[in-house]
Amino acid sequence: MQEWSFGEDTLDETKRRIARIVTAAALGVALALACLRLGVLEKLACSVGDAGCPTTGEPAGRLPQVTRLTPVEVAQSGAYVALGDSYSSGEGVYDLDDQPVNDGADRCHRATGSYVPLVAQAYRFNGGTEFFACSGATTADLLSGQHGRPPQVGRAGPRTSLVTLSIGGNDAGFTKVLTGCIVKLPGSSACVEQEAAVERRIKELSSSVLTVLKELRVRAPGARVIVLGYPRPFPANPVESVDNLSPQDQRWLNGMTRRLNDTVGAVAAGFDRMLDSFEAPGSVEYVDAYDAFTGHEVGRPEPYLNGLHVDMGDLQVNARSYHPTGAGYRRFADLVTRQIARGPGRTMHNIRVSTP
């Protein structure tokens, strides 16, 4: 059997090698402990691997802050754009004004006595106020233009935060209907005989109002749209004739106003439910003004609506007939400002995003 043996030189060399290894290991441990105390390892890991880096002061990369806006904040965040027909333009007080409020207002009978300037005074709108309601406007006029002017819906835009709107009365032909009721022989049933035609026009109104709301939504996707209904023109239970209108005629006209309001209100409510279901920003809010003039209807001592006015010089009915008086427009302003504060009766989905 072969035996292995080491000579003296080989044994001494092995001992020296073992000693160096032990010394190196001891030195490594000492250096490691020193580095831990000095934080060298952390710094090395931070610089090489982007890990273990110390945090001092504000943490980097904070998430943006998201805040849900209140109804008033939504309304005031941009521009207020006032659209609609004569009940918004101020027809009932137009010829009592010194001058129309802006360019083109003479054709549209926009008056400073309308509710629009009063709403603009009640709230500060960051984008200002733009007043484009026009007397005689139908839903088609809002979409295509009137008197050679651009379409009213085109006045709304991304910066619009509030829209007020009255529409539908001219589509239903109420001016012509009212004239037919007044210009008739005493005792005639010509007034109520218009019912079938009026109901047909009111029924057709649903789709056109929906189209207007869709167009406004496209142009001003975050805006609150407040649709204002029409007031009941006569007392709920009239007992005397007014302007050749018998109590029966007055009750019938009240009923047609109610149907018109219900139709427009249903479209507005349905549109807003759709927005809410998708948690979309903006809203469509209907203000039912049917009972707003109670105690101040036509024929009352202090009416909020003008009765029949005839220009005797040319024997024509003045356009302000059966439109709100100054007090009536102030009542409308109160309804709108209260609705701005109240909101749609649900959570608004408009938000503000702020970076730290």
Question: Which pair of tokens denotes residue 60?
Answer: 């980097």
Catalytic residue among 161, 283, 323, 349: 323
Catalytic residue among 77, 86, 89, 208: 86
Rg (the chain; Cα; Å): 38
Instruction: Please report, for residues 74, 349, 353, the alpha-carbon distance to residue 67 in angstroms, rounded to integers and kept in the order given.
Output: 12, 10, 6
Q: What is the DSSP letter of 153?
A: G
Q: Which long-range contacts (CB under 8 A, 24 or more apart) does 341-346 make?
A: 341/71, 341/72, 342/71, 343/70, 343/71, 343/72, 343/224, 343/283, 343/285, 344/71, 344/224, 344/272, 344/276, 344/283, 344/284, 344/285, 346/272, 346/276, 346/283
Coil, strand or helix: which one is 328? helix
Residue 159 Cα to chain centre, angstroms: 11
What span, in angstroms and rounded, lies between the C-alpha atoms of 89 and 115? Answer: 8
Residue 323 falls in the annotated catalytic set: yes
Beta strands 316-317 and 310-311 are: antiparallel
Coil, strand or helix: which one is 227? strand
Q: What is the DSSP letter of 98?
A: S
What span, in angstroms and rounded, lies between the C-alpha atoms of 74 and 123? Answer: 12
What span, in angstroms and rounded, lies between the C-alpha atoms of 227 and 270? Answer: 13
By annotation, the residues acting in catalysis are 86, 323
